Amino acid sequence: MNTSIRSVSAIAEDALDSLRAARETLQQLGALFNSLKKGAQAYSDAASLAALGALVALDQANSVDCLIEDWHAELNASDVATQSAEAENVLSAAGGDQ
């Protein structure tokens, strides 16, 4: 068992990597449904269900993509704010604000 403590940033990056994998899987699922739709008889229930499956999969892939972008930007902003605060603490400890 690994007893090292990981930073919040490292955990967040792993979560983003998992979301990227989910997005890719949803995109592949959308492509699969589109292939099924093309192979189905026009206007059949199978074609309609395949079209619906593709729409839902690709819509969810887009939603996950938006989450990734938003959370990645927030994580970067948080890292910058943390570094800035740490730099201010170092200056204060060294008497740099006198």
Amino acid at site 79: D
Q: What percent of the chain has pLDDT over 70?
A: 94
Average pLDDT of every residue of the chain: 90
The pLDDT score that the predictor gives to residue 96 is 56
**In the numeric block, which tokens belong to residue 62?**
């887009």
The pLDDT score that the predictor gives to residue 97 is 53
Q: How far is CA 59 from CA 15, 25, 71, 93, in A?
A: 20, 12, 18, 51
Higher pLDDT, 95 or 50: 50
Q: How many CA atoms lie within 13 A of 39 on its CB side?
A: 7
The pLDDT score that the predictor gives to residue 90 is 77
Q: Where are the domains of the chain?
A: 9-92
* Position 89 pLDDT exceeds 70: yes
The pLDDT score that the predictor gives to residue 13 is 94
Cα radius of gyration (the chain)? 23
